Structure 1
Amino acid sequence: MARQKPIVVVTRKLPAAVETRMRELFDTRLKEDDKPMSQAQLVEAVKHADILVPTVTDRIDAHLLSQAGENLKLIANFGNGIDNIDVLSANARNITVTNTPGVLTEDTADMAMSLILAVPRRFAEGMLYLKEHKDWPGWSPTWMLGKRVWGKRLGIIGMGRIGQAVARRAKAFGMQIHYHNRRRLSEDVEYDLEATYWESLDQMLARMDVISIHCPHTPATYHLLSARRLKLVNKDAYIVNTARGEVIDEQTLARLIENGDIAGAGLDVFENEPKINPKLARSERVVLMPHMGSATEEGRMDMGEKVIINIKAFIDGHRPPDRVLPSMV
């Protein structure tokens, strides 16, 4: 690039230490507030940036990229998922795309395991009762009974880094590990996790007590848990999603829970974020979290460091370590 310091436009407010480091290294244009950029602001950003640093809330689609200036050569996503970016269109315009894989694994797995525990044991219901009622009569042998997770069958959809991290946690809680994945894991990994592979997602869904989703959102996984598949789920089973909301047909899920055809759900992501399905919001059998899976101070700092490393590698003429190729989408 012609400039000594490339123009880096950041679309959301990042941790202060990350912003400080980016200012030191680049000609960085920061977002002063923590609101998502409007479409007009995004258009302005891609017109003038050499490097764009978006987040999951920014839709970097073909129409937006068609308005990009000639200097835009790198989109360094602040996040693991890249479903918010049209990677094929970026590649066609010779724009490199990177993300921040790996650093969110343990934090997201912690959130998934928390929901796996919270939903069957009715933690949220118990907490809300104490907050809303001042006349709790005390312990009762028959009140607020949930289901134990020990000995139950956990079906993991997507056995990548996060899926395996969840499996390790669930195994420690005495759960039986089952999984469906595009590719079967090696025998060594299966042995270590004591995991049973299901080639048929339909057959696995029908036999699990808890289902936890850890696959990315791609055109192939949109509504992977479709209305048809959700109806295969046992009525006493629970669904946990810390991946992407679009993987589930949310309207059908809400209806099945409302009718008692699925026992409950723990959701950290939603199909139409930030809008929440009213039926899910009303249900006492659903635990809702505001997309907090990677929300730790350490995780956000690690994400920022990944972004900076990718930008530095790119401007130094090297291949960024976390480049996303069209074949990966």
Structure 2
Amino acid sequence: MSKILCVLYPDPVGGLPTSYARDGLPQLTHYPDGQTLPSPEAIDFTPGELLGSVSGELGLRKFLEAAGHELVVVSDKDRANSAFDRELVDAEVVISQPFWPAYLTAERIAKAPKLKLALTAGIGSDHVDLEAASQAEITVAEVTYCNSISVAEHAVMQILALVRNYLPSHEWIVKGGWNIADCAERAYDLEGMHVGVVAAGRIGLAVLQRLKPFGVKLHYTQRHRLPAALEQELGLTFHTTLESLTKACDVVSLHCPLHPGTMHMVNEQILRGMRRGSYIVNTARAELCDQAAIVRALEGGQLAGYAGDVWFPQPPPANHPWRTMPHQAMTPHVSGTTLSAQARYAAGTREILECWFAGRPIRDEYLIVAGGKLAGTGARSYTVNAPSKVLAHT
């Protein structure tokens, strides 16, 4: 018997829904690159249910308990002597999410001698110290691609929300007003603007593809240039540096990994070089941006808007300056945890667990660390730089 510790975000304030806005989900079989969706032997949930919160349990309890395992689900993870810390000491498997990350630091790994599998229900294992996991021969896996399109859709939505001044306009209606001039004074058409994507991986490329019909001029920068045919199809302008892209664009959408080389890459200098009245959308990692510099740029008018769903820390304190800075359209980290995405990452989590307990190989695209080294997708997308410094993958 194994103990599985699952760390999930709290339930809705009113408890789990008794009904849902829609009946079921569209049926998908493949991701855009041809990778098949998760394929567990069975599922014990209805796709479209809320699975990512504590009571949803990722639909795992029946499956795990029928096999004789113990499932412990907690939400408390950050304070001293948290439920996560107390339960971790004898757990063999830890399941966490990027939206409510249970940080598996080297110190926590050292206190968990039985830990053998760290599983991300979603994409992004930067809450795991990959070097410490490698040294302890802990397998690290994530449900690659399960919510990439979800995040891309969120980024496009936030670009439009900023440029069209959507949220302040909506608030006038909620307050009983019909203040058209107040709504229009910061509203523009996206058409004709220069929009740049930083890192055109699965998410960034999906953003570019979804923006093309808007009649914008598309730009991108990343380490490896896209094929010429794809650049021509989308009308892309390639930039070799972040500075070049940000100077050329009205809107910049961030989709790159966080590592020491990208920490605070959007800083005072970059912001000064951008066009006055530019917009930034960040659904990657909060610390790509200098927090205080973003606030100053919004207050001073250099930026016309900032949106995203990633914060540092997560969840942020009530007095976090990004909650109250002007001209922002921030959300909690929800872009990748739609009910659609939850069905995929819950199924993928079960698929990985089925393989793990049966001694079968886990899909190569799901692996991040195995056998004491980076493996699978991890070997292609992550870099271990130093303890607690890892390259996140998008």
TM-score clears 0.5: yes
> What does 1:206-221 correspond to in 2, within 5 Å?
206-221=247-262
* Cα separation, 2, equivalents of 1:141 and 1:119: 15
Q: How many residue pairs get matched? A: 321
- Residue 244 of structure 2 is aligned to residue 200 of structure 1: no
Unmatched segments (≥5 aa) in structure 1: none
Equivalent residue, structure 1, for 2:164:
121
Write the deviation string for residues 130-156 of structure 1: whole angstroms up to 9, x where unpaired.
Answer: 223x3x356559944411111111110
Equivalent residue, structure 1, for 2:274:
233
Equivalent residue, structure 2, for 1:85:
128
Q: CA deviation at 1:199?
A: 0.8
Equivalent residue, structure 2, for 1:289:
331
Write the deviation string for residues 194-253 of structure 1: whole angstroms up to 9, x where unpaired.
Answer: 222111111111110100011122233221212322222211210001111111111101
Q: Pick which of 37-46 and 49-58 moved more.
A: 37-46
Q: CA RMSD in A?
A: 2.2
Q: CA deviation at 1:157?
A: 0.6
Write the deviation string for residues 294-323 of structure 1: whole angstroms up to 9, x where unpaired.
Answer: 121120121111112122222333332211
Q: Is the 1:265–1:286 contact (alpha carbons within 8 Å) kept by the matching residues of 2?
A: yes
Write the deviation string for residues 53-98 of structure 1: whole angstroms up to 9, x where unpaired.
Answer: 12232111101111112x3211111221111110110011110100
Higher relative contact order (CA 8 A, sep 6+): 2
Q: CA deviation at 1:278?
A: 5.0
Q: Which amino acid aligns with 2:187?
A: G
Equivalent residue, structure 2, for 1:272:
313
Which of 119, 143, 150 is the matching residue for 1:100?
143
Q: Is the 1:18–1:301 contact (alpha carbons within 8 Å) kept by the matching residues of 2?
A: no
- Residue 94 of structure 2 is aligned to residue 52 of structure 1: yes
Distance 1:59-1:142 versus aligned 2 partners, 3 A rule: closer
Distance 1:271-1:130 versus aligned 2 partners, 3 A rule: same
Q: Is the 1:171–1:193 contact (alpha carbons within 8 Å) kept by the matching residues of 2?
A: yes
Q: Which amino acid aligns with 1:268?
A: D
- Residue 182 of structure 2 is aligned to residue 182 of structure 1: no
* Cα separation, 1, equivalents of 2:95 and 2:57: 15
Q: Is the 2:305–2:327 contact (alpha carbons within 8 Å) kept by the matching residues of 1?
A: yes
Normalising by the residue count of structure 1, what TM-score does the alignment of the two structures yield? 0.90
* Cα separation, 2, equivalents of 1:278 and 1:105: 27
Q: CA deviation at 1:25?
A: 4.5
Q: CA deviation at 1:268?
A: 1.3
Equivalent residue, structure 2, for 1:161:
202
Normalising by the residue count of structure 2, what TM-score does the alignment of the two structures yield? 0.76
* Cα separation, 2, equivalents of 1:35 and 1:91: 26
Q: Identity of counterpart residues, as a percentage?
A: 23
* Cα separation, 1, equivalents of 2:279 and 2:172: 21
- Residue 155 of structure 2 is aligned to residue 112 of structure 1: yes
Write the deviation string for residues 178-203 of structure 1: whole angstroms up to 9, x where unpaired.
Answer: 11112111223323332221111111
Distance 1:150-1:143 versus aligned 2 partners, 3 A rule: closer
Equivalent residue, structure 1, for 2:24:
none
Q: Is the 1:81–1:216 contact (alpha carbons within 8 Å) kept by the matching residues of 2?
A: no
> What does 1:63-74 correspond to in 2, within 5 Å?
63-69=107-113, 71-74=114-117
Q: Pick which of 236-245 and 71-80 moved more.
A: 71-80
Q: Is the 2:60–2:350 contact (alpha carbons within 8 Å) kept by the matching residues of 1?
A: no
* Cα separation, 1, equivalents of 2:76 and 2:329: 25
Say which SS state the counterpart of residue 288 (structure 1) adopts: coil
Which of 303, 318, 325 is the matching residue for 2:360?
318
Unmatched segments (≥5 aa) in structure 2: 9-53, 384-394
* Cα separation, 1, equivalents of 2:197 and 2:230: 14
* Cα separation, 2, equivalents of 1:75 and 1:310: 11
